[in-house]
Amino acid sequence: MIAVKPLAGAVLLAGLPAVAFGAEINLFEQLVEGGAAVLVTLALSILFLAVTIERIAHLRAKAVAPAGLVARVQPLWAAHRFAEIEQLLAEDGSTLARVIACMVAQRHQPYAVINSAVGDIASMELRQHAQKAYALAIVATVAPIVGLLGTVLGMIDAFHVIAYAEGMGNPALLAGGISKALVNTAAGLTVALPALGMHHFFKHRLATLGLALEKQTNTLINQWFLLQPETPPLQVVQHAH
């Protein structure tokens, strides 16, 4: 029995060139062979990681609709201790705190005015959160396209070898183009799939926090400012003498 040992290059086995058995794949070298498309994909992966870390840190219930804030504010409102409410809200710094601060500042306005004002604040801040996570959708869309472009370029290189070099007589010459094609495809999908998953995750989280914010805001504004039916004016009945 002839033992086949790993070699640095191709060996002739049964009349065909073969890649050395047991050779380890150098990931860095594979990425370098991918060309410019891999560099673009790498930049997209850095953007994906940066946005994901930022959103995990800032898109939380504490930053949008913290639990317990309404319960702390209600007794102060009932006691007309508005200065203490403003101090509490300033220390909290959440979207719900800014909504309640608007209610306190506009407490002498009618229900319709306050309802519109707090709705604008909540809507604007939720849109800002959505905009900050939008980069993930861009990464999920662009990364596979960049990988596809790199794949096409790699296949062009492979067919160029077939047409102008030794052709199919020496498959080892095709390895560069095929490797470039496959590396770009893998890199693009590796970045796009988690980016797409995180995009939908943050979209769902934002929707959940938005519903919690809307529920707590409606509870306060209806309790504090909703107009009650007016009592009909007292009619004085004059008896005929």
Higher pLDDT, 160 or 190: 190
Domain annotation covers residue 10: no
Domain annotation covers residue 5: no
Domain annotation covers residue 115: yes
Q: pLDDT, tens digit, for every residue of 175-220?
A: 666 777 788 888 899 999 999 999 999 999 999 999 999 999 999 9
Domain annotation covers residue 22: no
pLDDT value of residue 125: 95
Domain annotation covers residue 21: no
**Under 8 Å CB-to-CB from 82, ≥6 apart: which residues?**
76, 104, 107
Cβ–Cβ < 8 Å for 44, 135: no
The phi, psi pair for 19, rounded to 5°, reads -75, 145
* Averaged pLDDT, 150-156: 81
pLDDT value of residue 50: 97
Domain annotation covers residue 82: yes
SS (H, E, C) the chain: CCCCCCCCCEEEECCEEEECCCCCCCHHHHHHHCCHHHHHHHHHHHHHHHHHHHHHHHCCHHHHCCCCHHHHHHHHHHCCCHHHHHHHHHHHCCHHHHHHHHHHHCCCCCHHHHHHHHHHHHHHHHHHHHHHHHHHHHHHHHHHHHHHHHHHHHHHHHHHHHHHCCHHHCHHHHHHHHHHHHHHHHHHHHHHHHHHHHHHHHHHHHHHHHHHHHHHHHHHHHHHHCCCCCCCCCCCCCCCC
Q: pLDDT over 90 for what percent of the chain?
A: 56
- Give the tokens for residue 49: 């990681």
Domain annotation covers residue 203: yes
pLDDT value of residue 174: 64
Give Cα 212 to chain centroid, integer Å: 19
Q: pLDDT, tens digit, for every residue of 74-115?
A: 999 999 999 999 999 999 989 999 999 999 999 999 988 999
Residue 30 has pLDDT above 70, yes or no: no
Residue 1 has pLDDT above 60, yes or no: no
Number of domains in the chain: 1
Owning domain of residue 189: 34-225
- Tell me the whole-structure pTM to 2 decimals: 0.74
pLDDT value of residue 167: 52
Domain annotation covers residue 1: no
